[in-house]
A and B are shown apart, each in its own frame.
Chain A
């Protein structure tokens, strides 16, 4: 197992006059709307537990009002969590005092914002250098570092401009560069690409994937776009009404949505590209005719379809160590494409 970088346990955030009291007294089954009506408290995040592993992109996906932005702010305590435990690198963030927290924000984690949050009175280069500046790093050194990052995100030649002179996509590159300049271990992204138009958004997503290959940061990436979560996320947490409904890899979620809410998102997903042999296979039965060459677990349906089309039997599936772990056949593939959950064993 990989190292756990961020660990959230039972994190709650409730807005209102007496959040502590409400956090203690609400029953798990009471609906958020009911709590609001009866007590006037808004439950934004409710008993959220998850781990983020080192070097992965952990997407938190949910519709607006599902509490995902509040959750990501709880991680760096830009919003104080009402209850729960947040452990980063083995240290309890909730228990940190102001200086420790400032230190965490300065050196360990940085953030990219939906509305960019750029400083309009500073030039691009000084925006990027801001995090280094508040750390107290000298001018020459921080400008040199900022220049490197500027080139990394492809903004050569824009250093001396002001943010409002740049296009939206370029502004968010500045936001990303500003976050990367402090060389953080953790990058929190709060819907960074939502304000961009679709083509620019796609470019930025690809760019982020490309950057991540080299940087290997631990990222918590908030989005309301399920396809974006599938594209970027190593794992995805789906939120609804402040609660995490399901956590899993993109294909786990597409293949096995836990309820109708999640299923609704998966409906429009191009399943042939997401689902793999590993997620559609079934255990091998006795006396089964295995036909043809074995396939690897990460073979996508797109690749499986021609094989099953030619074969009436069961195709063996092997894991990385060449062990036989299950079979796929035409029926399994077609059922997976038809988005129907298999009932029979």
Chain B
């Protein structure tokens, strides 16, 4: 009886309760009127400034002194970490420089050929070769050494952590919020504190990279092990396996694809920060881009940027292939094929494939001969020789190549093989700056566009945010939104987060940054949502867009600056354009996904009532896809925020610029302050949009 009563909706309460959201809005409106008509509120009071930078700078001085004097914390903790990481980096770098380049390229080729197929082997080894052809072999190897060090250490910490969290619920509950928080933070946030404890140059770069890149591998190791089916585990237990046997013989092998997906993500995150680490002296390819950007040498910056893209492609494809290894007894396709199967009956394709097939047949024969020879030599290990003929042959080839390279002096990548893009690109950029700036007397061109964005979008918004909406009004409005989408906790949290930005004395800069972020998000949504809808409604559009989006998401943030300064020079607009390029993908992807996942029945029903496709889209598909679209926008916002500091590098004023400026001038306190302000802004925007998306999802379920 009681249960039935509870299910009946309660009649609306007659007693009027005061809605707190209304109160907050009324308060904001009152302040707005007061501000506009009676007495301007003015800027955030200087007197409230926390002066956080002072104690930080004092602390930094203490750190320097303590470090010099051998304080126990440095002597026994930071210093040992520093020297062991440094040792590792040096070994990795020395090794990569010692290896002649043909050996490295061939190694990548045979490895990729083993785990993927010929296309993968070609893509990866050609990417490596391209770095050399751009004249950046040494810089690439430096970056690779940092990557190898950072990724290996990350995996050494991350995989055991993942296993531990999978086997221990309490550990998972403890680590999960930390990992969540770590993933919300923009990459550069980790650069600031590590500089304090480890100084500048490569060691802090690697340490920041490790901290930033560790969450995905922990998460996916945990997830992979937890997803091993219960019946499989039960079978393992029923045969009397020890917990260790279950872990090593069942759980880890079963979770391997998931773990490798985590490794792939960790590698890509590591690459993005290793490149940014040029800001604190990480060196390598990031440094090439950074230096060229500072000198406005677009050609050189593009070379560096392209090398980074090649590095990204190489690492991404290779580690992704590892996560795709399937358990099949017999390969579905025995031969080796470079081109897609559907072209196989064309004459030119056959002409390409035939020699390749011959080479492969010959190498297979060589493999078998080698294994046969070894079997005769040491018959005891015959099975092993036979089973590992590819490995043996590859090793032999690499060793021979090593000897030959040293004998012929092929250690260094030949200088003369340089496809310098410098001059031609600089010429193109000059041409673009002259000719694309304004085409004829029309309003088409990068100049008018840039002016339009800054004059009609950015400036009014900035003025609106600073002059019209005085700081208490912004805080109240944010709190009201937070309350409406979530509750009092988030409202309070948002209010004080914004207050903290004021207390740091960065309200004006934050408003500037916010205006850029909002414009970038607006542009991303305006471009992304229609593209997403288009790709949801046309399979061909989706097939066309997918590789582009994959590619855009592979590229480290830094690289986006290169094309935009080619077109837009310096300032806020190129920063926004770079952010849009970088942050567009999730909105497109999740809009498309959301619409595609709308229940078939709902669409059918709508069509049965005679809706036009446009009506179905507007009344059924978009509302039902809204939670997914909101999630995409949330991710876009977070990615735009991650770009704030990068945009600062091309002169986009605001918090990002503050961080860059403070870092370059070694002003520890100021950079922490600005970094903190960005994090506060990120957290508030993230929580509010996420709460909103969740509300939409809940509403859609009911």
Contact = CB atoms under 8 A, between A and B. Distances in A.
Interface of A: 76, 78, 101-107, 110-111, 113-123, 130-131, 133-135, 160-162, 164-165, 178, 182, 188
B386 interface: no
B323 interface: no
The 7 closest A-B pairs by CB, nearest first: A117-B235, A105-B240, A106-B240, A161-B329, A111-B238, A117-B231, A121-B253
B232 A162 contact: no
Nearest to A165: B329
B176 interface: no
A117 B240 contact: no
A119 B238 contact: no
B235 A104 contact: no
A72 to B, nearest CB: 10
A108 to B, nearest CB: 9
Given A117-B234, A120-B254, A102 B327 contact: no
A13 to B, nearest CB: 16
A111 B253 contact: no
B231 A119 contact: no
Contacts of A188: 238
Contact of B232 (A76, A78, A105, A119): A119
B422 to A, nearest CB: 50
Nearest to A79: B234
A42 to B, nearest CB: 18
A102 B242 contact: yes
29 contacts: A78-B234, A78-B238, A101-B240, A105-B237, A106-B240, A107-B240, A111-B235, A111-B239, A113-B231, A113-B235, A115-B231, A116-B231, A118-B232, A118-B235, A120-B327, A121-B254, A121-B256, A121-B327, A130-B236, A130-B249, A134-B239, A134-B241, A134-B242, A134-B249, A135-B240, A165-B328, A165-B329, A182-B239, A188-B238
Contacts of B185: none
Contacts of A114: 231
B233 to A, nearest CB: 8
A133 B256 CA distance: 21
Interface of B: 229, 231-232, 234-242, 245, 249-250, 253-254, 256, 327-330
A104 B240 contact: yes
Contacts, number: 78
A309 B229 CA distance: 59
Contacts of B238: 76, 78, 105, 110-111, 113, 188
Nearest to A127: B235
A53 B390 CA distance: 55
B245 A123 contact: no
A302 B236 CA distance: 46
Nearest to A126: B249
Contact of A102 (B229, B240, B249, B254): B240
Nearest to A108: B240
Given A110-B239, A119-B249, 10 more contacts: A105-B238, A119-B250, A119-B254, A120-B232, A120-B254, A121-B254, A130-B239, A133-B249, A161-B329, A162-B329
Contacts of A107: 240
B37 to A, nearest CB: 64
A1 B142 CA distance: 81
A113 B234 contact: yes
B242 A164 contact: no
A160 B328 CA distance: 9
Contacts of B231: 113-117
Contacts of A119: 232, 235-236, 249-250, 253-254
